Structure 1
Amino acid sequence: MLSSPQSQTAALVPGSLRSVHHIALNVKDMQASRHFYGNILGLHELTGDEVPKTLVDLVAAGKVANFVTPDGTVIDLFWEPELSPPDADPSRAFTRANHLAFDIAPQLFDTALEVLKQHQVQIDSGPVTRPTGRGIYFYDPDGLIIEIRCDPLPGGA
């Protein structure tokens, strides 16, 4: 969508947006998604007093689960049991989101690959090696493409 000259004058000052506060994902199977984000990807699930006050009732009812990345980005999973992608083939994009990428230390990249294999996570593509580092693309339980990527090893090894 193109912006009009009027909307350009009302833009936020560059740098006003400090960081991503949270990412909200709709999930069909809450148990499978909690297992995926918590046990496979190793993200910390917020519980008890860690749960945002605005979501306490939804978490208690099993309709929301919250995970946090080491940099503090919260991933909210909203249970939508009737959720179905327009196409059952997850290799066909069905949402405006392309993928969600997580950064990992280069020394841990191969470990991440092994964890994905052990859990029989469906791989979309990769691993790939580029001048910018390595990456692998795979699917979460609802078909969203997830990437784990790393910078090149120091010294180009």
Structure 2
Amino acid sequence: MLSDLTQTPVLQRGDLRKVHHIALHVRDMDASRHFYGQILGLHELTGAEVPKTLVKLVEAGEVANFVTPEGTVLDLFWKPNLTPPHPDPQQEFTRAGHLAFDIDPEGFDRAVEVLRSHSVPIDSGPVTRPTGRGIYFYDPDGFLLEIRCDP
């Protein structure tokens, strides 16, 4: 059977250029917009910046779009009837592990202070590893995020 797989076309290294967007389902759009826009400081797309396919949903308050510093779009889809996350935030509710944001090492401690000052639930950290420093925390819907920096 393996020989059949080796004959099947596959994408080559470099065919995929970058992450295009990440879509998250959120229960409380206001809390999520505040978290991603005000606490994490991501730019919310408005007006002509909103993808044409999402304009009506954005106008209806069902979608909010943010962009990360390197240009990846984060789409928040309002799902008010989502099952609440497990009371124990370490019980994963999705197959996605976490979303990690990179930060300049000089800004890492300030990022930790911002999270703490907003009482953002911290999962673990800050941790220091040979690959850098990181802190893991939860968004308003219990999705695990990381802010990390190189050594």
Residues 13 and 35 from structure 1, CA distance in 2 versus in 1: closer, same or farther, beyond 3 angstroms?
A: same
> 4+ residue stretches of structure 1 with deviation over 6 A?
none
Cα distance in structure 2, aligned partners of 1:119 and 1:5: 55
Conserved? CA contact 2:103–2:148, under 8 Å: yes
State the one-letter code of the partner of 1:70: P
Match for residue 145 of structure 2? 146
Matched, 1:127 2:126: yes
Residue by residue over 1:39-86, the C-alpha shift from the partner in whole angstroms, topping out at 9 and shown as x without a partner, is: 000000000000000000000000000000110000000000001146
Gaps of 5+ in 1: 153-157
2:25 is paired with a residue whose SS is strand
Percent identity of equivalent pairs: 71
Conserved? CA contact 2:131–2:150, under 8 Å: yes
Q: How many residues align?
A: 150
Cα distance in structure 2, aligned partners of 1:5 and 1:43: 46
The equivalences for 1:8-19 within 5 A come to 8=6, 9-19=8-18
Match for residue 155 of structure 1? none
Cα distance in structure 2, aligned partners of 1:38 and 1:150: 20
The alignment's TM-score, normalised by the length of structure 1, stands at 0.91
Cα distance in structure 2, aligned partners of 1:82 and 1:138: 23
Match for residue 4 of structure 2? 6
Gaps of 5+ in 2: none
Matched, 1:33 2:48: no
Query: Cα offset for 1:6?
Result: 3.4
**Aligned Cα RMSD in Å?**
1.4
Match for residue 118 of structure 1? 117
State the one-letter code of the partner of 2:57: L
Conserved? CA contact 2:85–2:142, under 8 Å: no
The alignment's TM-score, normalised by the length of structure 2, stands at 0.95
